[in-house]
Amino acid sequence: MAKDRKIDVVILGLLSHEDLTGYDIKKRLDGAIGFFWKGSYGNIYPALTSMEEEGLISKKKTTKTGGREKIPYHITKQGTKALRKWLQEEQASNELKYETLLKLYFGGAEDRSVTIRNIQIFEEDVKRNLAVLKTYKENLERVLDEEDHIFYYLTVTFGIDTYEAYLKWCTKAKMLLDNYDNSCI
């Protein structure tokens, strides 16, 4: 498995439930997973090729049910082993890259109103994402007793909780900026 290419374990994790094509994998990454991990075709297809060479996954018979040919992949025993090994590793990199916070930090180089506007843009964005996550949550609550759904549910509630914290912060931040604007400057 490639050293720094984390898409490998994403693929293994998805394939541990069902056989999927590269196209399917991309769709999964555009769903709930997309809130904490992204992927692109230019990322996925080369990974599938090299992972098959390494014996972590195997190609299944290509089918042609409408549209172009389909190439579903299946996880091998070796792949399952690699997935488990990764899950047991203690270190995990959790990275945040928020341009909004960068703009906030350097807000002093512009008018106060620019920062407030940037916070509002961020707020709207968070609200949109929050609405999506809440529909995911509702759907999952109905089938929480099904295998593994509790894990999906927990990642979704993680997203909801943090986004709600973001919104509270937005309100506070705008208030603070307004007050300082009026009384100090």
- With binding defined as CB under 7 A, does residue 7 bind DNA? yes
Angle between helix 112-141 and helix 149-183 axes, rounded to 10 deg:
160
d(CA 24, CA 51): 17
Answer for which of 27, 41, 121, 171 binds its own copies (CB under 8 A) is 121
69 contact choice in its own copies, DNA, none (CB below 5 to 8 Å, kind-dependent): DNA
Total number of residues binding DNA (CB under 7 A)?
29
Q: What token pair was written down for 87?
A: 């899950």
Total residues interacting with its own copies, rule: CB under 8 A: 67
- Rounded Cα distance, 20 and 57, in Å: 11
User: Phi and psi dihedrals of 63, rounded to 5?
Assistant: -115, 170
Residue 23 interacting with DNA (CB under 7 A): yes
Q: Which two tokens stand for residue 77?
A: 């025993």
Q: Which is nearer to its own copies, 21 or 152 (CB)?
A: 152
By CB under 7 A, residue 19 contacts DNA: no
Task: Pick one of 61, 66, 89, 168: the residue that binds DNA (CB under 7 A).
Answer: 66
Based on the shown chain and the rule CB under 8 A, indicate whether residue 86 belongs to the binding site for its own copies: yes
Amino acid letter at 102? L
Q: Smallest distance, Å, CB 162 to its own copies?
A: 5
Helix axes 22-29, 7-15, angle to 10 degrees: 100
CB atoms within 10 A of CB 73: 23
In the bound state with its own copies, the residue whose beta carbon lies nearer, of 12 and 20, is 12
DSSP 107: G
Q: How far is the CB of 53 from its own copies (least distance, A)?
A: 22
Between 22-29 and 41-53, two packed helices, what is the crossing angle to 10 degrees? 130
Binding mask 28-57 for its own copies (x = CB under 8 A): -----x-xxxx-------------------
Task: Pick the closer one to its own copies by CB: 48 or 156.
Answer: 156
